[in-house]
Amino acid sequence: MNSIEEFTKGLEVEFEDLEPGTLSSATNFRSIKGWSSMHALIIIAYIDANFNALLNGADLKSAQTIQDLYNITIEKLK
C-alpha cells in the first residue's frame, strides 16, 4: 500500500480540475470546489483501480477526509 502522501497525490491527479497541492490528508473532500456526485465515482474508481479495494456508498458516507478514505482502503485490504 502506498503512503498517505502518494494516495492523496494520486487522487488529486484523478480529480483533474484541481491545482497541484490542493489536497492534503486532512482535506474534507466534500469541501473541494465544485464537489459533485462525479467526484464520488472518481474516488471509488481510483481506489478500485489502484489498490484493488472496492468502496461502497456507505464507506464514502462514513468518510470525511482523505485520511479517512485511506484508512478505509487499508481496512478493506486486510
Q: Which residues bind another protein (CB under 8 A)?
A: 16-17, 30, 33-42, 44-45, 48-49, 54-57, 60
Q: Which amino acid is at 63?
A: A
Contact (CB, 8 A) for 3 and 66? no
Q: Which is nearer to another protein, 42 or 74 (by Cβ)? A: 42
Nearer to another protein, 2 or 3 (CB): 2
Question: Cβ of residue 70: shortest distance to another protein, in angstroms?
Answer: 18
Query: Considering the complex, what minimum distance in angstroms separates the CB of residue 32 from another protein?
Result: 11
What residues form DSSP beta bridges with 65?
28
User: Residues for the chain: how many in total?
Assistant: 78
